[in-house]
Chain A
Amino acid sequence: MEDEALLAAFASAGDGSVRELEAERRRTFRAVVERYQDNVFRLAFHLTGSAEEAEDIAQETFVAAYGTLGKLRPGSSIEAWLTSIAVNRARDFLKSHRHAKTEVVAPDEMPQQADRDRNPEEVASEGQREQLLREAIEHLPPAYRTVVVLRDIEDKSYEEIREVLPLPLTTLKMRVIRGRLMLRKYLEGRL
């Protein structure tokens, strides 16, 4: 069932009693959850670096979405809307769990030539490399982490990101640039 059909089904669910309406809405909403649960969970995982936190955030995202799903305009993207909720939930989580590690990387410092010349494949296996990438992402300040995850991991376009994060386009692009530089700085000292 496409987004349009799901929204229409949810909005028109049940013409009978309150209980019938609720039961029908829940059936439709289950279809929404099962369609988007992997996307929302994956996004939450990349933002938090924790499967446990990702499960909580993904659950909270859908619970919050349930209350307002019927108010979405026809033609709205359910995925963008869920992404927006998940990003906000994850950002709240990151703010409450911010630690000193986020201050380590200086965005304006370029990598050293000696580090650049090293071949990552010589230093770390693929698994270790992935682990280092996750560490690097976790070290990004939340504002940079969000845009890097959305742009480079989730492969969202800048316009799609702006639907989630209402930022000026130049600010958004600058955060992507700086976020990438921070990641490179962190990784090139370790690979």
Chain B
Amino acid sequence: MRAMNELMRQAVDGELSETEAAELLRDTSLADELHKTAELRAALRGLSAPKVRPGFSARVLARLPAKRSLFERVFEALATPRFTLRFSAGTLTAACAGLAVIALTLPRASAPAQQIQMAQAVQTPATLIPAAYAPSSDEVPVRFVVVQPDAKDVALAGDFNGWKTNALHLTPAAEPGLWTVTVKLPRGHHRYMFVVDGKRWETDPLAEEHHRDGFGHENAVLDL
């Protein structure tokens, strides 16, 4: 059967000589099979196909990847984000809490070493950072942080407490030389200074704004 099929294939594909084909056609059953297969092949060869739609080459060219220079490829690699953050209300709250923690540790962990060293050298109060932020609230918790390695006491005095030098005391943090205190302040414009050991007034060198106080010092300014 297999040999016969191959013989018929040869006949249909035109691989047999006239003599061989004539010999094959003497068998009427084979001739009928051969005729049917040849007819099928002729029908297949005559199958039509739709034409490609106009504009095909333009559509292909539009899909080709753009060839870019080395500079463009490097720039894209650097500029392409590798991941995307998606926030839900819960994760946003958690993220804010996490950022607050990071902010609180910033003077120890992330502030430029040069700034910290400079503050220590002059023994000046170092920084003031809002610890948390509630846009709808009238009061904003603010954490004051200062580096005073040789101080025995550090107080916070400002217009929000009548410039009392003994009302708000900072406490030593785990990091040696670091003093902190968190207070709730009403929104608005505030001026303040640190009082070291009850007698020395020090401004906050890292405050965004300073105003002269008329007594030879500069008050740090905080806008909430």
A67 cross-chain contacts in B, Cβ below 8 A: 65
Which residue on chain B has the smallest CB distance to residue A66? B64
Q: Decide: B68 and A18 in contact? CB cutoff 8 A.
A: yes
Determine if A187 is an interface residue (Cβ-Cβ < 8 Å).
yes
Interface residue from B13, B59, B64 paired with A26 (Cβ < 8 Å): B64
Range, interface on chain A: 35 or more
Select which of B44, B48, B52, B65 is within 8 A of A152 by beta carbon: B44
Q: B48 contacts which of A62, A130, A151 (Cβ < 8 Å)?
A: A130
Chain A, range 139-191, C-beta contacts under 8 Å to B: 148, 151-153, 155, 173, 176-177, 180-181, 183-184, 187-188
Chain B contacts of A25 at CB under 8 A? Answer: 67
Q: Tell me, in angstroms, the Cα distance from A82 to B217 when the chains sit together.
A: 82
- Residue B105 at the chain A interface, CB threshold 8 Å: no
Given contacts A176-B9, A183-B40, A187-B40, contact A153 B45 (CB under 8 A): yes
Q: Is A78 interfacial (CB 8 A cutoff)?
A: no
Beta-carbon contact of A55 and B40 below 8 Å = no
Given the known A-B contacts A18-B67, A130-B47, are A180 and B37 also in contact in the complex, defined by CB atoms under 8 Å?
Answer: yes
Query: What are the residues of chain A within 8 A of B50 when measuring CB–CB?
Result: 45, 51
Asked if A30 is at the interface of the complex by the 8 Å CB criterion, the answer is yes
Interface contact A111-B36, CB-CB below 8 Å: yes
Complex: A130 Cα to B42 Cα, angstroms = 12
The CA of A55 and the CA of B68, in the complex, are separated in Å by 27
Closest to A18 in B: B69
Residues of A within 8 A of B48 (CB): 130
Is there contact, CB below 8 Å, between A133 and B47?
yes
B residues contacting the other copy or chain, number (CB 8 A): 33
User: A183 contacts which chain B residues (CB < 8 A)?
Assistant: 40, 44
Q: Shortest Cβ distance from B89 into chain A, in angstroms? A: 41
Query: Which B residues are CB-close (under 8 A) to A34?
Result: 57
Partner of B52 from the list A18, A55, A130, A184 (CB cut-off 8 Å) is: A55
Contact with B along A57-72 (1 / 0, CB 8 A): 0110011001100000
Number of A-B contacts (CB under 8 A): 92
Docked-complex contact B60 and A62, CB < 8 angstroms: yes
Chain A residues positioned under 8 Å from B59 (CB to CB): 59
Structural contact, A42 and B49, CB atoms closer than 8 A: yes
Contact of B51 among A30, A38, A151, A155 (CB under 8 A): A38
B49 and A46 contacting across the interface, CB-CB below 8 Å:
yes
| Cα–Cα, bound, A73→B177 (Å) | 75
Q: B56 to chain A: which residues have CB within 8 Å?
A: 33, 37, 41, 55, 58-59
* Those of A16-41 within 8 Å (CB) of chain B: 17-19, 21-22, 25-26, 29-30, 33-34, 37-38, 41
Whole-angstrom distance between the alpha carbons of A11 and B56 in the complex? 23
Given the complex of chains A and B, what is the CA–CA distance between A51 and B53 in angstroms? 10
Known: A18-B67, A21-B67, A55-B52. A153 touches B60 (CB 8 A): no
Q: Given A38-B52, A41-B52, A133-B43, 12 more contacts at CB 8 Å? A: A18-B68, A18-B69, A19-B69, A26-B61, A29-B61, A45-B50, A55-B53, A59-B59, A130-B48, A153-B44, A180-B40, A184-B40
18 A-B pairs (CB sep. < 8 Å): A30-B57, A30-B61, A46-B47, A59-B59, A62-B60, A63-B64, A111-B36, A133-B47, A134-B47, A148-B44, A152-B40, A152-B44, A155-B45, A173-B6, A173-B9, A177-B6, A183-B40, A184-B37
> Top 9 A-B pairs ranked by shortest CB distance?
A152-B44, A41-B52, A22-B67, A33-B57, A42-B49, A62-B60, A18-B69, A45-B49, A177-B5
> Could you tell me which B residues sit within 8 Å of A by CB distance?
5-6, 8-9, 12-13, 32, 36-37, 40-41, 43-45, 47-53, 56-57, 59-61, 63-69
